[in-house]
Chain A
Amino acid sequence: MSTFNLDVYMPVVILIALAMLVAGGSLLLGGLIRPHNPNKLKETAYECGEEPIGSAWANFNVRFYVIALVFIIFDVESALMFPVAAVFKKFTQIGLGGTLLVSVFSFVLILVAGLVYCWKKGDLDWIKSFHSQANYAKKDK
């Protein structure tokens, strides 16, 4: 079995450090030469010229969360799928591809069932509120 030295992670560390350096360096460099005379008007948040009303950190629609939820489930699914996919070719070569195919199929299809559920229940519809408002309007009549 082939082994490796941890030196291969060097570029990763160097690149992260460089990113910090580039960002921090350019800001520092700019800090030396750029003007700095803030005033209150400059520092208010932009609201098309109006005075900002309240904080922007208000509650947001829950549909953002549902999207993130579906995302994390599929993210985890992909994390589990990657190693299995990586050995799929080897398994087909040694004649075990059928078994693995079945397990991959069942794995993916079970998760697709979840996607289909969310789809059917309308969790993936971005403008669900319009529909429900329309429904309420119909009911009122």
Chain B
Amino acid sequence: MINLGSYLGISFALFICGILVMIARKNIIAILLGIELILNASALNFAAYTKFSNNNLDGHILSLFIIVTAAAEAAVGLGIVIRFFQLRESIHIDDAASLQN
């Protein structure tokens, strides 16, 4: 039951859920939730590949750095959201389109 295929399937499903959340939501924080899902999917993939190939833990290191990066990304991303909210009183993604033209 625990094999590469099932792990790839789970991470695939996570990835698709992440994309659905990213596109369907109009709330910036909700979009960030989707991004976290996608990052988790990729980290899971790395760990699974390490386990089912040579188990030399390089994949774990990569997953670790993905987690680290995701945390940093969340910090900065939410910081931007909060700043945006202070300026615009909204966290609707369509209000963040003032860079047009």
Question: Is there any pair of Cβ atoms, one from A and one from B, under 8 angstroms apart in the complex?
Answer: yes
Q: Which positions in A face B, CB cutoff 8 Å? A: 62, 65, 69, 72-73, 75-76, 79-80
Q: Which positions in B face A, CB cutoff 8 Å? A: 64, 67-68, 71-72, 74-75, 78-79, 82, 86
Chain A contact residues: helix, strand, loop or mixed = helix
Known: A62-B82, A65-B79, A69-B79. A80 touches B71 (CB 8 A): no
Please, how many angstroms separate the alpha-carbon atoms of A72 and B67 in the complex? Answer: 12
Decide if B71 touches A65 in the complex (CB within 8 Å).
Answer: no
B49 nearest CB across to chain A (Å): 19
Decide if B64 touches A80 in the complex (CB within 8 Å).
Answer: yes
Decide if B78 touches A65 in the complex (CB within 8 Å).
Answer: yes
Please, how many angstroms separate the alpha-carbon atoms of A80 and B86 in the complex? Answer: 33
Contacts of A75 in B (CB 8 A): 71
Query: Which of A62, A72, A80 makes the CB contact (< 8 A) with B75?
Result: A72
Query: Which of A62, A69, A73, A76 makes the CB contact (< 8 A) with B86?
Result: A62
Q: A69-B75, A72-B75, A75-B71 are in contact. List 8 more A-B contacts (CB 8 A).
A: A62-B82, A65-B78, A72-B71, A72-B74, A73-B71, A73-B75, A76-B67, A76-B68
Contacts of A73 in B (CB 8 A): 71-72, 75
Query: Which of A62, A65, A79 makes the CB contact (< 8 A) with B67?
Result: A79
Closest B residue to A6 by CB, please name it.
B2
Closest B residue to A59 by CB, please name it.
B85
